[in-house]
Amino acid sequence: MTDRPILMFDSGIGGLTVLREARVLMPDRRFVYVADDAGFPYGAWEEPALRERVLALFADLLLRFDPEISVIACNTASTLVMEALRERFPGHPFVGTVPAIKPAAERTRSGLVSVLGTPGTVKRQYTRDLIKQWASKCHVRLVGSDNLAALAETYMRDGFVDEEAVRAETAPCFIEKDGARTDIVVLACTHYPFLVNRMRKTAPWPVDWLDPAEAIARRALSLLAVKQQASAPVTPPERADVAIFTSGKAEFTTRRLMQGFGLSVTDSAAEQSVSFASFA
């Protein structure tokens, strides 16, 4: 196997929910985690500007880290840029993270499904198309949350979250219609699984909270497995996993969090500010 890393990309710490699953499935792989914190939150960005930003970042990241595969562990970016990324960087495998609407439509008993994501993700044509294609027999409510991703960031860094704020953001997911109730909420933002216990606690009734992280990690593994058939036997990674923050200004609590996930924040701040100067 090559020592080329798997690159995980998100606007912030949400991609860690995918990274932790990927580590379980691929303990022998090296990971580079990239948080575009200088652009966080992605939810409110205009589509053309966000597309250009992610493409430009990848032009730099692919050169710098030469990853074997890149996982866009962000629904807000994936629902917008996957096609453009594949077009701009042909030959490089990308795995996206898009709302788990198909599995939700297959599993729901009541036929009432909610998709909880950032305002960007719920307004995307891509998301609407997924509903049309896979869930036309369900009643799908799209719920765009302005604050949950930031609440998840604070919770993971500082250990505190305002439960009433979580309840208020998730409340629109719960519908009662003709004697039936919402039974599945799709977590269509990689930040949200960090708050799922609070969501459960504040929910008006129990639902299935669908987190696609494991499926995303499996998809990455399956692409790598195909590529690895002809390569050398597995050996443990020689170098530590790293995290990059596009702002170049990861604070102490962020570094501590990353450490907990086995990532050291690269302190090549100088190098970083050169590469990402125009993004921070």
| Contact (CB, 8 A) for 275 and 247 | no
Cite the active site residues: 74, 189
Q: How far is the CB of 121 from ligand DGL (least distance, A)?
A: 5
Give me the residues that bind ligand DGL (CB under 6 A), please: 10-12, 14, 40-43, 74-76, 118, 121, 149, 189-191
User: What's phi and psi for 235, nearest 5 deg?
Assistant: -130, 150
SS3 assignment, position 69: strand
Q: How far is the CB of 44 from ligand DGL (least distance, A)?
A: 8
Task: Give the Cα separation of 33 and 70 in Å (integer).
Answer: 10
Considering the complex, state which of residue 110 and residue 145 has its C-beta at the smaller distance from ligand DGL: 145
The CB-nearest residue to ligand DGL is 14
Considering the complex, state which of residue 40 and residue 58 has its C-beta at the smaller distance from ligand DGL: 40
Q: How far is the CB of 76 from ligand DGL (least distance, A)?
A: 4
Considering the complex, state which of residue 79 and residue 110 has its C-beta at the smaller distance from ligand DGL: 79
> How many other CB atoms sit within 10 Å of the CB of residue 249?
13
SS3 assignment, position 94: strand
Question: What residues does 114 pair with on adjacent strands?
Answer: 141, 185
Considering the complex, state which of residue 45 and residue 65 has its C-beta at the smaller distance from ligand DGL: 45
Longest dimension (CA), the chain: 60
